[in-house]
Structure 1
């Protein structure tokens, strides 16, 4: 049995990130561990990467190297080609210059956002333009394309740890094909030690993490299909989504109202603005009951707010 619309002080907390409050203590008690250093040296190349405070800082450290002026233009491209883009990305760019969503003669840098863990499908074509490329892999830490080259096409690639690990800070900036070394991050020694021990702990269990994440995504997809929703992106064996992104299929009258309703029940979500789609949490730290609770909340919302009611 689930209790929907409880007292506001008794709400659960379901985040897009796998972080939960109990991880404050769990992470604090982890032993020092540098396993992540070897992992990232192998994944990115020794001396080619550095920890950052978060994904936003990684983007800004990369952009800084292009010596952009306020009239320059960064073009943002996304997997879906929808106009939706996180303000974390746009605000970071606005610190340096303008941005748009289509390559023009004014484009100085391309920022490719591999959305929700789904790789952008035409990277070779972008490389052929000869323009500098930053790959935003913040939601694509584990996903790969058929060429196994996500994160290796551009000058720089950036990653965000909270999207896949139960941690509150941390990211990576990778110097891929650029000869210009980025500036150092603001993260201090203690923060690096904290990030490193937490990420190391979970990377040691990478296979189990990915298996659980995959099982949860498959179960959630099956469960929500019973309500008439479908996946926005086609699934692929090498893709590990950062959230469950669903087509509304005209079932929900007002997706913003659904977002508010879910927040009132302790569930983080958002509308995929520009399309009739939305996304909800679906990660390795959720149980089948957690998924069923979110399903029950949305089913309850549909009883009184759907187009078909």
Structure 2
């Protein structure tokens, strides 16, 4: 018994007439009669009581009609569910992000737009340090990461897309000696204890740039994993920090932001994903964000 048999049977059961059922199915009546006879033989008994004008269902036929309708309805539901999954309309997208993805508004913009276009897809967002995002994407516990472009060499297993670029500002306590300045130059940072983002044992591109510009006067005093911690430590007077300009929107008592005259020290926000992504929902998210970014 296959789905075709069930469709043929239901047509006859609903029309109560082989000729009308055959016309509805766009097949000739003898072929339909043969298919119904084959089904009855397979099941071991009659499903219809045939008269010269119409057919009636036997008790077994009535039972099969109810079960067949449920089976075909479930199959249609399954077909639609699978098609939606293939299109990425359902499924799960796990997103990691660093602070500047939030403060710049880019994360919320992408998530809001995707949720509007794919309301049945599940979105899970988690704040993670950039290195942890890379590890999670690599081991399959995260799908997409929003992170600063710390790394001069990109992993060939990942796809990198630039989704934002900003200048940097210097954050410090309001009573710091440099707080009276409206803007700062790189030379003013010489020997100042710097609070830098933690990137484990990998030298960041920013580290290398600062080393080139400040030489022996570069003083990295702290490595911190989150933007909020960086701002808190700077506000506590434990050092100064270079942060992406969007963080200047965060108003914290005792914390001030000053412009940095160093256009070469720009901050790049990257969206990172797996090169060979198997999930249709994740691919839909990546494609949607790229399309909306170009709009």
The bucket for the TM-score relative to the shorter chain is under 0.3
TM-score, normalization by structure 2 = 0.24
Q: Which has the higher strand share?
A: 2
TM-score, normalization by structure 1 = 0.23
Q: Which has the higher helix share?
A: 2
Q: Tell me which structure has the larger Cα radius of gyration.
A: 2
